[in-house]
């Protein structure tokens, strides 16, 4: 059973635009199995890991992620997360998880008010999550960011809880957007729902400039395979 493929569900909301990229990396690069999950459905199709990819769900109108959180699929994902299922929110996916209350905090507009697309250096702060088993603590990795609402905010209580419980998983080495405590990615208290602004799927093939993101998918697969 050791080499059985792990099934990743890739959620598609209207306006999601990194679904195909994420699917491609899971299938072609990580060598696992990917299935699309349409926002109107409630069936996760046997997914062992659910990924909410990047993009502009509902155009990012109102607030990034604010409308997507009401989708039927989100109810299923909430239940899945409560049962301990692995959920990964990338960029807009992270914003949706925040809006849905699966992760604490909220996103504000970037400090410079502009969209920023570029590679950033990140520090791996917690290497003990299901998504970061293949990284080591303190390691510096490179992944692209591409967002205009990535300025992470949380109340002082939430923020200190995050720090206390080692829920901060990635920090920017140089803060590009004003995020509190340089936060680039966080995990929930239970340790199964990760959200991050950088795009691991864009850092999964050497010719695109980095393979540091691939390990996130491989790590989640390994975790599922071994549990």
Partner 1 sequence: MRAKIEVFLKPGVLDPQGETIKRALHTLGYEAIRDVRQGKVFYIEIEGEDAERTIEEVAKRVLSNPVIEDYRWEIEK
Partner 2 sequence: MKSLEKLLEEHNLTLEEYGKIKEILGREPNLVELGLFSVMWSEHCSYKSSRVHLAKLPTRGKYLIQGPGENAGVVEAGEKAVVFKVESHNHPSFVEPYQGAATGVGGILRDVFTMGARPVALLDSLHFGPLTQPKNRAIMEGVVSGIAGYGNPVGVPTVGGEVDFEEEFSHNPLVNVMCVGIADKDRIFYARAGKPGLSLIYAGAPTGRDGIHGATMASAEFGEETEHKKVNVQVGDPFREKLLMEATLEVMEKDLIVGIQDMGAAGLTSSSSEMASKSGVGVELYLDNVPLREEGMTPYEILLSESQERMLMVAKEGKEKEIKKIFEKWGIDAVVVGKTTEDKRFRAIWKGEVVADVPVDALAEDAPKYRRPFVPPRIDQRTDEEWGRERDWEEVLLKILSSPEMASRRWVYQQYDHMVQTNTVLLPGAGPAVLKIKGKKQAIALTIDANPSWGRANPKAAAILTVAEAFRNLATVGAEPLGITNCLNFGNPEKPEIMGQFVETVEGMRQALEFFAVPVTGGNVSFYNETQGRAIPPTLVIGAVGLVEDYRTIPRPERVEEGYGIYLLGWEGKDLGSSVYLRVVLGERGGKVPEIDLEKERALHRELIRLAKEGKISYAIDLSPGGLLPNLAEALFHIGKGAELSVKTDGEAYFLFGESPSRAIVFASGELETEIPSRKIGIVKGERLRVYINGKKKIDLELDELKSRWEGVFPKIFDH
Residues near partner 1 (CB under 8 A) are: 58-59, 61-63, 66-67, 70, 98-99, 104-106, 108-113, 151, 153-155, 178
CB of 59 to partner 1, least distance (A): 6
Query: DSSP 3-state assignment of 37?
Result: strand
CA atoms within 13 A on the CB side of 6: 22
Catalytic residue among 32, 99, 147, 199: 199
Per the CB < 8 A criterion, the answer to whether 32 and 8 are in contact is yes
Window of 76-84, 155-163, 206-214, 219-227 that interacts with partner 2 by CB under 8 A: 206-214
Query: DSSP 3-state assignment of 159?
Result: helix
Q: Which of 7, 69, 202, 215 binds partner 2 (CB under 8 A)?
A: 202
Is 207 known to be catalytic? Answer: no
User: Counting Cβ atoms within 10 Å, is residue 92 exposed (0-12), middle (13-18) or buried (19+)?
Assistant: buried
Per the CB < 8 A criterion, the answer to whether 19 and 36 are in contact is yes
Positions in 171-200 near partner 2 (CB under 8 A):
199
Length of the chain: 227
The Cα–Cα gap between 108 and 173 comes to 20
Positions in 39-98 near partner 2 (CB under 8 A):
54-56, 58-61
Is 201 known to be catalytic? Answer: yes
Positions in 7-46 near partner 2 (CB under 8 A):
14-15, 17-18, 20-21, 24-25
Under the binding rule (CB under 8 A), the answer on residue 215 touching partner 2 is: no
Would you say 129 or 151 has its CB closer to partner 1? 151
Is 79 known to be catalytic? Answer: no
Angstrom distances, CA of residue 125 to CA of 30, 184, 215: 23, 10, 15
Which H or E run includes 36?
strand 33-38
Binding interface with partner 2 (CB under 8 A): 14-15, 17-18, 20-21, 24-25, 54-56, 58-61, 112, 114-118, 144, 146, 199, 201-202, 204-205, 207-209
Catalytic residues: 91, 199, 201
């Amino acid at each position: 059973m050791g080499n059985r493929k792990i099934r990743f569900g890739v959620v598609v909301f209207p306006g999601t635009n990194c679904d195909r990229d994420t699917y491609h990396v899971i299938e072609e690069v990580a060598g696992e199995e990917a299935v699309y999950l349409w926002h109107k459905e409630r069936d996760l199709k046997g997914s062992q890991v659910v990924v909410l990819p990047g993009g502009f769900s509902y155009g990012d109108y109102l607030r990034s992620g604010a409308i997507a959180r009401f989708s039927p699929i989100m109810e299923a994902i909430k239940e899945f997360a409560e049962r301990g299922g692995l959920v990964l929110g990338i960029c807009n996916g992270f914003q949706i998880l925040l809006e849905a209350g699966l992760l604490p905090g909220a996103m504000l507009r970037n400090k410079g008010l502009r969209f920023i697309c570029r590679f950033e250096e990140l520090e791996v702060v917690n290497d003990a999550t299901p998504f970061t088993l293949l990284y080591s603590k303190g390691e510096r990795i490179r992944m692209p960011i591409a967002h205009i609402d990535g300025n992470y905010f949380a109340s002082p209580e939430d923020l200190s809880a995050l720090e206390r419980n080692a829920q901060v998983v990635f920090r920017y080495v140089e803060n590009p957007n004003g995020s509190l405590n340089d936060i680039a990615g966080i995990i929930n208290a239970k340790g199964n729902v990760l959200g991050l602004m950088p795009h691991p799927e864009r850092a999964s093939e050497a010719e695109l400039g980095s393979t540091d993101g691939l390990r996130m998918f491989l790590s989640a697969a390994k975790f599922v395979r071994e549990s």
